[in-house]
Each structure stands twice: as structure tokens, then as C-alpha cells.
Structure 1
Amino acid sequence: MILLTGFEPFGGESTNPSWTAARVAAARLRAEGLDAQAVELPCVFGDSIRALEEALDQYRPELVVCAGQAGGRSRVSLERIAINCDDARIPDNAGKAPVDEPVVPGGPAAYFSSLPVKAALAALTAAGIPAEVSQTAGTYVCNHLFYGLMHALRLRPGSRGGFVHVPYEPAQLPPGSTDPSLPLEQLAEALAVVVRSALAAAADLKIAAGATH
């Protein structure tokens, strides 16, 4: 079973492309004969992880792909690592703004994604979708959820998961904006490609996709 998640709108936005893309991607995967479900999560520290854990208990997925919005990025970002740190520049949707607090007290400093991020990168590039391997998921609710996911999956042998950041979709941008965006069709297909890559890859590819800064 495959679980995709996206977030509710935050920061004054009326939509969040991560949720729209997750919902469309799940429907697309079901049309291909795969058992896939999409769940919308609150953009709230703590509550997002609790809602995710409820979905993990309900669906018992073997593969989890969580998505979030990264406004300003121009590519679909395959997140490599989640860190045990909450440091909010803006409040979440419940007004919480933790600073320098652990996601899980006493937890490890970081978790790596168990998705084949480089195989997914190659597949996305072949599909003509701008993509990258990202070395940081930030310190806001997206990283918080990513860390919480990997912390939960350590107790679920055989389950894999990770996090993908998506850019704005064009409809979110005001007239004249120069912020980068990608069409919803590409965002949804990107999440579906990540799922297909994870199902197909027994091991990740060893290709360069690092960063110098």
C-alpha cells in the first residue's frame, strides 16, 4: 500500500500544491492498478506528526511519500536528510513558532530518506521534470514531519519513506511575479514518478547529485 501526504495551505496562502499534487498523484497511481491513498496534514508542529501516525496505523503502507511546498525553489526537491531541529521563522497554522527545539527529544541528530532519491532524480530528469536532490528540508513543519516520518518508520520493518518539496504552482502567483513555479500536472506526475521509482529500485543509483554549498 502506498501513502502520499500533502499539507494544508499556510502562511496566508489559499492553496497548497503539495496536497493537490498528492491527491492527483494518488488517483493516477490507482488508475494504474496500485493501492494508493492521499491524506492532507495540518501545517502545525506536533499535530502534523500525530496525523501522519494515525494514517500509518490506518493504512499500514509499505511506501510513504510526504510532500510539502517550498516556494521559491524552481525544481522538485528530493530531500535526502531530516534533522532533529525545529526552528520556525514564521508561526505555523496554530501560532506555534518553536526555536531550537528537537523534533523528538533524545532522538538521533538526523535520519536519511529511505527512498531511492537518485534513481528518482534520474527518472524525473528523463520525464522532463526539473528536479534535484536537496541536502536540507529546512527547519519548519516540512522537516519536522520528515523527521517524524522516519522516526516512526524505524518501528515498521519493511516500510520505506521520504519527503519531496514542490515549487509553487502558477495559479498561486500574483500577476507580474517572477517567482519560479511548475504546472500542477508536472507536480503530480513528479510524485507519481517518485513512487514508481521506489517500487522499481531495489537499490539506489550511485550518481553525483551533491552540493558544494
Structure 2
Amino acid sequence: MTTVLLTGFEPFAGDATNPSGEAVHLVGERWAGPEDLVTAVLPVTFAGATARMRQLIAEHRPDVVIATGLAGGRTAVTPERVAINLADARIPDNDGAQPLDEPVEASGPAAYFATLPVKAITAAMADAGVPAAVSHSAGTFVCNATMYAALAASDDSTRAGFIHVPWASGSGPADAPSLPLADIVHALEVAVRVALS
């Protein structure tokens, strides 16, 4: 059985919601297979998210890993190309940790490239009517650390990577760009299908 691991995040920084976690939950509810879809909502903590990602990969041995997170301020869904070995937090995570200029993994390489077909996923999202763009930086917060951990824990046969989503309409700051939650859900479904094909 082909297995897909799809993750999002819990709310952070005092926000009431996180569209990545909400969208992942909805994708899971709608999933009709035939592949096995494993979904999880990760804590927004450097230690917790990376440990949970490694645990999920070890437990389920997925063929595809797509982690998702919120990038408030972006106007499109943005598949990421690169995860860097740097944790440099502008704000504390949900545990209060705020690493500065630290590696994600002390003995790890400087960076990993996504093994998802990033450009094909981006094009398919756009073809489906969802604003999408390739991003070359997953930042240096928990999202980047989670992408880095996912790629480090995946073997050569696994397609793995990260997708940032904007705010869902009505859930973010009044002046923030957003997309309907249904569009974010559809974009993630498209990403899974493209990665599988």
C-alpha cells in the first residue's frame, strides 16, 4: 500500500487558528484513497515538531511526505525548494524556545533540497485555479526545521518537502492576504496527487 504523510501545525503566536492544520484535517476527512493517507497536526515547537516528524516517518514509512505550515503575508500557496540547517527564531515557539543562529541538526548538511516535484506541483495548483508560486526559502522558524527533519529522516525512495499556505479567509489579521480555506484544501489535494504521479 502506498502511504502519504500530510502534516500541518497547531495555532501559534497567540492566533486562534492555523489554516495548515485545518486544511490537513479537511483533506483527511475527504480522502477516498486508494492510497493510505496519514495526517497529523504538529506542535509549533522546534523540539516537538522535528521529533514528531521523525517518529511519524519511522512508524509509517511513507512514500510521500508533505508538511505544511502558515506563512502569513504570502498571497499564494508556496511549495518550498530548500530547507537550511539553521534555527533562528524571530519570536519564541509555543514552548518559549527562541534559538538564535543554531543548527537544526548539529552534524547535518547545510541544506536539503525538496524531493517533491516542486515546479510540477506549483503548475498543477495554478492550473486548478489556486494562486501558487515556487518559494526558495522556508525561513528559519519551525516550518524550516520540520522540512529539514523530514528530508533528513526520509530515504532515497521518498518524495518529501514542505508547502507554505497563506491565511484562510476570515481567520487572519484584517489586512493580511488570504485565500478561501477550500482553495487551500484543494491545493494540498493537488499536491498529493502530483507527488504520487
1:192 aligns with 2:189: yes
1:165 corresponds in structure 2 to 164
Alpha-carbon RMSD: 1.1
1:88-167 equivalences under 5 Å are 88-153=89-154, 156-167=155-166
1:77 corresponds in structure 2 to 78
Is the CA contact (8 Å cut-off) linking 1:76 and 1:167 kept in structure 2? yes
Distance change >3 Å, CA 33–CA 27, structure 1 → 2 = farther
Residue identity opposite 2:9 in structure 1: F
1:18 corresponds in structure 2 to 20
For structure 1, which runs of at least 5 residues remain unmatched after alignment? Answer: 201-213
Q: Which of these two proteins has the greater Rg computed from alpha carbons?
A: 1
3-state DSSP class of the match of 1:68?
strand
Is the CA contact (8 Å cut-off) linking 1:27 and 1:36 kept in structure 2? no
CA distance in 1, matches of 2:168, 2:58: 31
3-state DSSP class of the match of 1:133?
coil
Q: String of CA shifts for 1:36-66, please: whole Å, max 9, x gaps.
A: 1210111001111111112112222111100
Shift of residue 19 of structure 1?
0.7
Is the CA contact (8 Å cut-off) linking 1:26 and 1:192 kept in structure 2? no
1:209 corresponds in structure 2 to none
Q: String of CA shifts for 1:3-46, please: whole Å, max 9, x gaps.
A: 10001100101111101111212333x32433112101110011
TM-score by length of 2: 0.95
- Runs of 4+ in structure 1 deviating by more than 3 angstroms, as ranges, are none
The total of aligned residue pairs comes to 195
Q: String of CA shifts for 1:135-174, please: whole Å, max 9, x gaps.
A: 1111000001111111111xx2411110000000112135
Distance change >3 Å, CA 106–CA 32, structure 1 → 2 = closer
3-state DSSP class of the match of 2:133?
strand
